[in-house]
A and B are shown apart, each in its own frame.
Chain A
Amino acid sequence: MATHATATATEEPLVAVEGLSVDFDTPRGTIQALRDIDLTVPKGKVLGIVGESGCGKSTLAYSLIGLLAENARVAGGAIRMGEHDLARLGAAGWRDLRGTRVAMIFQDPMTALNPVTTIGQQMLDIQYRDRISRSEKRARAVEFLEQVQIPDAASKLDAYPHQLSGGMRQRVCIAMALLTQPDLLIADEPTTALDATLEMQIVALLRELQQKFGCSVVFVSHHLGTVAELCDDVAVMYAGEVVERGSARSLFHDPQHPYTQALLDCDPARIKIATRTLPTIPGTLPDLRQPPRGCAFRARCPHAWGRCEREHPPLYPGAAGQRVRCHLSDPAEDAA
């Protein structure tokens, strides 16, 4: 049953990321992993974050739950969620939000669960805040294992993680995340470690449960097919910046940024003409210790010209209602 939490322009988003910058201090210099990120996560919707490896999409996901690496620091901006600014939240503040309003599903289900504790105990542990009896907590655990379609759920409570397959473990992780009834569910490439058939099952399950529980989801992936399947909105990231964002429909049907276009051209599922070699985007990500002046993508962009080198493009409004960080979308360029 789809909840029709239609986010109108006036409705306040669940999370608003405003000009977020995150730096990593390394022995070889400061890496500007996220630069001036502006995003909103609408209530009850799924926001997809796509981009190639190293573009900062996982860093963004982790900053939404305050689990950045020790050498990372928020260099600027804010993450607004209700009255909280997640970018400035202390350890105690985070403990109150994690497992109540924000939950996360991790990339590798093989290592995400405690190997020496039973599934049931781990599901009881995360309910430590709830003032209900142990047997009620167990009943809730079984209920959520059934929600994620684990067969014979009650018997799985006594199983250890290594006794379950990867797909089953990821279902357990999803059940645990949903058990806490979060407002925001962050999924960091939850299907990357699974094989293709499982991937589609898990994505379908996520979609179904998201609609049932009505939570907002931030879904990080480099697989465009799953993003198209699952997400309402999409943000495309490149070199620590959002280069294009908008509804999934507009991005997949009418991509405006040359990087988005190139990404879509590289998706094997979209190739129409037989080819011997899979298409790639030539070149590599720029060095984020010294982000290039001007447009970050210009070195790999087939359309780059003089202005791209001089001037860092802002997010221009795009043709289909999206926002595009490319001078090609500058209304002034058309006029010129």
Chain B
Amino acid sequence: MLFYTAQRLVLSVVIVMVAVSILTLMLHVVPGDPAVMILGPRATPELIERTREAMGLDRPLPVQVAMFFANILRGDLGQDVFTGRAVSQIVLEQLPYTMILISVAILWSAACGIALGAYSALRRNTWLDTLSGVVSVGTISIPAFVMALYSVLIFAVWLGWLPAIGAGDGFWDGITHLILPAFAIGVAWVGYVSRIVRASMLEVMTQPHVRMARAFGLPERRITRSHILKIAVLPAVTLIGTGVAHLFSAAVFVEVIFARPGIGALLVGAVNERNYPIVLGAVLITTGIIVLATLISDLVVALLDPRQREEF
């Protein structure tokens, strides 16, 4: 298990580095010179040249990437082009909002998804199973931003039950502000998780070891829990791990729609302003978190399934 963890960690660092390199390159393909953006339309060519030098934009691309990595290692993600504040500080200010949003979305959707999937599998081919299937596929096919818009319309505008804008102040206010966005980005995942848990439960239920457990007269409840569900959740854990990336991209839309602070809102603003250091910093942190989530889900799978630990 220790060796497996170490191996996964090294792999994770490599993935982050590759992702950041690709991102740096992609930013240069997007039209618009950051120096021009900062200085405005009336800047002299001389001034633009000096700013480009100061930002290191005149150096060859590989050097820029290398410099960026060197700075990361020193904990320096650069400065905001406009205010001169440290990017790391700005990103870390916004990060908690997004993390809470995504964590709550994952938790509620995984809990509901696993319960719904398990229920459907145990009551397969009943009308409740069919209904849950239809609803699941329905929620999967509705994009998060559409879900966000309609939930604002219904619960905030028409019914007036929940606030539509901002992150709220204090604990309870924060929670009421969290409900709609967490619902909007999580609801599709109830569908994904329940479908995969149902399918994998139906598969595990036919395995000989389940029949053997029955042959020993074990109570059905215990068979379901430790012989079926314990194995059937494994693909769902992997799915949720990789799903964090999708949740981040859904959070970008949802934060904008709900005018919520967070990485998504920060990123959209920074891209519009060609504020490269912020974009890079935000994406670096996001990539790190996504890779970390994948790592955690791999480790959870290894913890639950002894066969996984030894395959590497």
By a beta-carbon cutoff of 8 Å, the part of chain A in contact with chain B is 65, 67, 94-100, 103-104, 106, 108, 111-117, 125-126, 128-129, 160, 162, 173, 176, 180
Contact = CB atoms under 8 A, between A and B. Distances in A.
A113 B307 CA distance: 13
Interface majority SS (helix, strand, loop, mixed), chain B: helix
Given A111-B209, A112-B209, A113-B212, A99 B231 contact: no
Given A106-B211, A114-B226, A116-B230, A96 B307 contact: no
Interface string B204-229: 00011101111111110010001100
Contact of B307 (A65, A94, A115, A129): A115
Contacts of A112: 208-209, 212
B304 interface: yes
Contact of B304 (A100, A104, A116): A116
11 contacts: A65-B215, A94-B217, A104-B212, A112-B208, A114-B226, A114-B227, A115-B305, A117-B226, A129-B217, A162-B307, A173-B212
Given A116-B306, A160-B307, A162-B306, A111 B226 contact: no
Contacts of B226: 114, 117, 125
A95 B213 contact: no
A116 B216 contact: no
B209 A100 contact: no
Contacts of B227: 114
Interface of B: 207-209, 211-219, 222, 226-227, 230-231, 304-307, 310
Nearest to B306: A160
A103 B215 contact: yes
B295 to A, nearest CB: 21
A180 B208 CA distance: 19
Given A114-B226, A115-B209, A116-B231, A67 B215 contact: yes
Contacts of B306: 115-116, 160, 162
B224 to A, nearest CB: 13
Contacts of B219: 95, 128
Contacts of A113: 209, 212
A23 B143 CA distance: 49
A104 B215 contact: yes
Contacts of B209: 111-115
B235 to A, nearest CB: 13
Contacts of B304: 116
Nearest to B231: A116
